[in-house]
Structure 1
Amino acid sequence: MAVPYPKDIPVTEPTVELAKSSEPINAGAEPLPEKLIPVTPTISADASKAKLTSAQQRSVLPWIMGFLKPYKLKVVAAIICLMIGSLAWLSLGQGVRLMVDEGFVRDNAQRLNEIILLVLGITAVSGTAVFCRFYLMTWLGERVSADIRLTVYNQLLKLSPAFYAKVRTGEVISRFTADSTLLQTVVGSSLSMALRSSVTVLGGLVMMGITSVKMTLLVLLAVPLVLGPVIFFGRKVRTLARESQDRVADLGAYVDETLHEIHTVQAYGHEDKDRSLFNTRVEDVMSAASGRIRYRALLISTVMFLSIAAIAMVTWVGAHDVMSGKMTGGELSAFMFYAVMVAGAVATISEVIGEIQRASGAAERLIELAETPVDIPVATHPVALPAKVSGELVIEGLNFAYPEHDALVLKQLNMAIAAGERVALVGPSGAGKSTLFQLLQRFYVPSAGSIRLEGIDIAKLLPHDLRAQFALVPQDSVIFATSVLENVRYGRVDATEQEVIDACIAARAHEFISEFTDGYQTYLGERGVRLSGGQKQRIAIARAILADRPILLLDEATSALDAVSEQKVKQALDVLMAGKTTLIIAHRLSTVINADRIFVFDKGEIVACGRHQELMQSNALYREFASLQLLTEEANASALNETI
């Protein structure tokens, strides 16, 4: 039954606070009935950068430690093994002292044999501890990397299309893969080396102090000389590492875009230009990496030089003490052993710091993704929909402008669509028809006005519950890189294979699917490259049929079909639309003639409403649109049918 167009619906324009402005629209109007979580500004407009200050101000270490917390027993076990291994290596210094003083100097072969056995025992203990520590730390690195990926991916699934309109997918993928892999290496290896070397430095200094206080104090005088370059160059490496990762992300984004559109690239002979542009990006990566490598090399070489120079000077002092009888040769040997261990550990720390600083830059980028606020506000106390949703929709005073654009795409829209009504939306491109579909599913927040489903403002519903009421068939069919079965089952993941087959039969897709060698298990390739446009569309329609939801959104679902296929699919759609509220973005006469009502859109406004014959007589825009597009296409279809 047709519902009259609500020309005189009283409109209350609720106050909605946009993320980009602190001033409410329509100040003083009646507020929304449900308190909403404030919209927080998301990533900046520069899509290639996408940097958030909050992530840069966050401390990276506590964030990573949060992922280690569930595995604290393994962390404790790894630290214990690390301590045992480091202390075992440190005790070897005393073995060296005993070998010199009680073996070589006293020419005591029996004692030398005993000391050698002791040294071998200590080495065995250390080797076992190293095995356990390496296994546990590597496992933790893999586990933390996996958990970070899960956390980031879960957040990415919550973000609206507005986020992905501003950030290049290739950059997100780079952060998601390369940066998390870098963190895996740091947690599993570099962090372990840094901890082990830190224990070695502290333990070595203690043992050096026990051996000779004077020489240890001389070594400590050199510590500020070593720490200075570590702090200065370390900060430089972290900054440049962040820049280097950004350039790698740019490179990944460009490759992703080029390869996905390889048909267009080759069709227009753009290969040479793309090679040139790719080469430029590769050189940008090298340029950013060169600075990081230079500072890291300076860090390592400076620390090693200062450490060895300090040891050499202290050894010179110790040699004079041995010659004057102030210490034994064994004590000097032990001190030199510890000094070399400490110097090696400091050199390791300086090298690992470069990796850790580089990982800090990667972690900052991951934190940005993991903590990007969801820009669709959710009601603090959401309302549940009725068990049976009829599909009644009411739109009042709807205004909308895309984020970071001032021009309104939709202006003062008023529509009342009854349950089970079939509505066609017509109008020129850019009139706002597809935008309305996005707002109905709450992928964007209206600037003003409201949309009600079953009398409930959709702002008061959970997005998941709201979207579960819509089945969408877009004009450009979405096919995933999996089998036919899983592509259709995307509409209802718990469907049986027979239910999938029944949906495909209804969508007139079963015929061509049966011709595939593997039938419903056929792999369709990335973006469905193995299918024609019409076959993709029929798979998408089968998906919507299987989903069996109360409201259908059809963005000219038969646009990619020839006349014969269109007739078959039209029959399936007629069955599908029975008893369901249907909104159709229409470009064909057959679609609008069968609609209960037609809404004519122009520049974001509804300029007319009625049935086909009424509008042909009363609205010049619709008459022009019908004569230029609808009737022309119908004539072409008729001619094709006559030929067949």
Structure 2
Amino acid sequence: MVTGATGSRRETYRWLYSFVRPNLPALIVVLCLSLLASALGLAQPYLTKLLIDRGLVAGDFSAIVTLALVMLGLAVVGAGIATLNRWHYVSVSGRILFAIRAHIYRHLQTLSPSYFTRTRSGDLMARLDGDIAEVQRFATDSALALVNGVIVLAGALTFMVLLSPLLSLIAFALLPLHVVFLRVVRPRIELSLRDLRAQASGLSSFFYDTLQAMKLIQSVGAERREAERLDGLQARYFGRLRHQQMLDQAASVIPGLFTLAGVALVFVAGGAMVIDKTMTLGTLIAFTGYLTRAVGPVNTLLGLYVALKRAQVSLDRVEEIRHARPDVCQPSAPEALPAGAGGTIELIGVSFAYPGEETQVLTDTSAVFPAGAKVAIAGLSGAGKSTLIDLLQRHYDPGAGRILLDGTDLGRLDLAALRRKVAVVSQETLLLSGSVAENLRYAAPEASDGEVRRAAEMAAVSTFVDALPEGYETELGTRGLRLSGGQRQRIAIARAILQDPLVLILDEATSGVDTETEEAVRRALDTVFSGRTRIVVGHRSTMAEDADLVFELVGGRLIARDPVQERTPAP
């Protein structure tokens, strides 16, 4: 098991390195600039030694001025290099961050709807934002810090040993205590971070869920209850945060005390040597300057030990997304629909149960929806109508049986092409932030203004858009909630018209509009999609009027009904 875990961890690091590798030239530039700035910084303590010994002590004012100007010049050059280095660093780290986030987002786009129903949106947001940023920081900062720290430390130690081997030994006598302390505190930091990230995700999910449902909260008078729930979540988060902050404080303060103790020992021993005339004052000050510069890399290198575990917590959370497997996959050699495809759908012995569940939603059901037919499907809530729609768009594959579109198994078609050919307008209409026109064009971004307006007129969208402040350029806000449910449904219908699919599925698509508007939309759709397959799902009779075939979904099977009898009013 350990070997497998180690192999998995190596694979994770290889995946992470795949984002760093294309940016290696830029990272090398950042490293070189950093080393150059550090090299200029290493010259300062030695210049200070010369200024004291050859200028102040020797009483040479010209030497003081010359050395001071040199120190100032090096400081100005170093500041310029550091600024340029910062610009390059932000550029390369941003590219790596955005590449990782884009990769994870594209992977999320391949996952089936069931993944998003069982995963809280707030938790996904926390992982896409905070956790990926933490991973990116470690992927770039750790390598730079390691190389730069080792080189700067080596340079500082070289000068320290040259100035005084004895003081060098004294300065790092307490280093083993640093290592022991960090080995003790590291696992505690890792566990604390995991708890803190979980609490932060809970808070993100709370805000995401409740802000979307604020109207409901107000309608049922649940404001106080939700506010109290927020208080509880924040109290738990605060407790974890305080615990984490105390661990971080200990991880920084205690090693700092060790460092201060080492500096104090250096001053005691070095002071004695200055008094005994075995060391000059300039040498002692220069040594302490190099010691200060060595302490930074030492703390950085020791801190990488803790930073690795901090990043590992975030990396594990990102990995949970990366290793989520899609329920359907793009075929390795996708086939195209035959020329002149008409939209015939065949269900052959189709059975389906959701992943992890034993109950069959569909059981050995078969049916044929001929090309150009208008098919009505009825059924009680929970009968499996939405599941059937998801199978037709191949969000899932049947557990048994096959579904064919014009004789081709859906599993052999290109996913994007299939879903473009099978359009769904559902009761739960999804709109995105943006203008009316942008939402209408979402499935057909190349559509002209004239095509957009024609589709809007057919779906009775123009009747309310013309009254909006900026017409088709009016911003709809989050999820289009400034519109009524019926208005959102009409936009979705117009969007489907622009998509120009082979098969149109209407799932309670006009449940939010009045009967007169519904009748007008029905006539428009029957005209526009005449000769193409239309599947009307739901209980309303108007949209299913003149259906060529009627099915009822009962017990997981499609049962054919007589269309004439279905349209005949009960006595």
When the two structures are superposed, what TM-score results if normalisation uses the length of structure 1?
A: 0.82
**Residue number among 33, 39, 49 corresponding to 1:97 in the alignment:** 49
Q: What is the DSSP-based 3-state SS (H/G/I as helix, E as strand, rest coil) of the residue aligned with 2:331?
A: coil
2:317 alignment partner, one of 365, 368, 377 = 365
C-alpha contact (below 8 Å) 2:146/2:301 kept by paired residues: yes
In structure 2, the residue matched to 1:87 is 39
CA distance in 1, matches of 2:353, 2:230: 35
Shift of 1:467: 1.0
- In 1: Cα distance, 2:208 partner to 2:296 partner: 43
Distance 2:388 2:351 in 1: 10
The equivalent residue for 1:386 is: 338
Post-superposition Cα deviations, 1:366-403, rounded to whole Å, max 9, x if no partner, equal 34334433331333332222243211111111111112
Flag the structure with more relative contact order, 1 or 2, with Cα contacts below 8 A and sequence separation at least 6.
1
Q: Distance in 2 between matches of 1:329 and 1:557?
A: 87
Cα distance per residue 1:187-209 (max 9 Å; x no partner) = 78787667655543332122111
Equivalent of 1:423 in 375, 397, 414: 375
Cα distance, 1:122 vs. partner?
2.3
Q: How does 1:274-285 map to 2 (within 5 A)?
A: 274-285=226-237
Q: After the TM superposition, which of the residue ranges 596-605 and 137-146 deviates more from structure 2?
A: 137-146
- 2:560 maps to what in 1? 609
- The Cα RMSD (Å) is 2.7
**DSSP 3-state at the match of 1:114:** helix
The one-letter amino acid of 2:83's match is: F
User: How far did 1:418 drift?
Assistant: 1.4
Given the alignment of the two structures, is residue 557 of structure 1 paired with residue 509 of structure 2, yes or no?
yes
SS in 1 for 2:520: helix
Question: Counterpart in 2 of 1:177?
Answer: 129
3-state SS, counterpart of residue 105 of structure 2: helix
Conserved 8 A contact 1:81-1:130 = yes
Aligned counterpart for 1:572 among listed residues 521, 524, 540? 524
CA positional deviation for 1:578: 0.7
Superposed displacement of residue 261, structure 1:
0.8
> Which of 211, 215, 221 does residue 259 from structure 1 map onto?
211
Cα distance in 2 for residues equivalent to 1:200 and 1:268: 64
For residue 424 of structure 1, report the CA deviation from its aligned partner: 1.0
> Is 1:518 paired with 2:470?
yes
Paired residue for 1:327?
A: 279
The one-letter code of the counterpart of 1:611 is D
- Name the counterpart of 1:311: 263
Question: 1:482·1:524 contact (CA, 8 Å) conserved in 2?
Answer: yes
Q: Return the letter of the residue paired with 2:457.
A: I
> Shift in Å at residue 504 of structure 1?
1.1
| 1:549-601 alpha-carbon deviations (Å, 9 max, x no partner) | 11111112222221211221121121133101111113133444511111111
1:407 to 1:473, Cα distance in 2 relative to 1, 3 A: same
Unmatched tracts of structure 1, length 5 or more: 1-52, 617-622, 632-644
Match of 1:73 among 13, 25, 28: 25
Aligned to 1:289: 241
Secondary structure at the residue paired with 2:348?
strand
Aligned counterparts, 1:375-414, within 5 A: 375-414=327-366
Q: 1:531 is matched with which residue? A: 483
Contact in 2 for aligned 1:390/1:420 (Cα 8 Å):
yes
Structure 2 counterparts to residues 582-621 of structure 1, below 5 A:
582-606=534-558, 608-613=559-564
Residue by residue over 1:451-510, the C-alpha shift from the partner in whole angstroms, topping out at 9 and shown as x without a partner, is 111211111222112112111110222222221111111231110010010111111222
**Matched ranges for 1:149-228 at <5 A:** 149-182=101-134, 197-228=149-180
Q: Is the CA contact (8 Å cut-off) linking 1:423 and 1:597 kept in structure 2?
A: yes
For the Cα contact (< 8 Å) 1:85–1:130, is it kept in 2?
Answer: yes
**Structure 2: segments with no counterpart, 5+ residues:** none
- Aligned residues: percent identity? 29
Contact 2:350 2:399 in 1 (8 A): yes
Q: Alpha carbons of 1:368 and 1:58: their partners in 2 closer, same or farther (altered >3 Å)?
A: farther
Higher mean displacement: 92-101 or 410-419: 92-101
Matching of residue 136 in structure 1 with residue 88 in structure 2: yes
Asked if 1 retains the 8 angstrom alpha-carbon contact of 2:420 and 2:499, the reply is no
Q: How many residues align?
A: 567
304-313 vs 66-75, which deviates more?
66-75
- Residue 427 of structure 2 is aligned to residue 492 of structure 1: no
What code does the residue aligned with 1:424 have? A
* Counterpart residue identity of residue 233, structure 2: R
- Rate the CA distance shift 1:58–1:267 in 2: closer, same or farther, 3 A: farther
Contact 1:609 1:615 in 2 (8 A): no
Q: State how far apart, in whole Å, the 2-side matches of 1:443 and 1:64 are.
A: 29
C-alpha deviation, 1:358, in angstroms: 3.8
Contact 1:304 / 1:343 at 8 angstroms: preserved in 2?
no
Q: Distance in 2 between matches of 1:270 and 1:55?
A: 50
- 1:350 to partner: Cα distance: 6.0
Do the aligned residues in 2 keep the contact of 1:56 with 1:364 (CA within 8 Å)?
no
What residue is the counterpart of 2:386 in the other structure? Answer: 434
TM-score by length of 2: 0.92
Question: Retained in 1: the 8 A contact 2:47–2:71?
Answer: yes
Q: Specify the alignment match of 1:468 in structure 2.
A: 420
Tell me which moved more, 185-194 or 432-441. 185-194
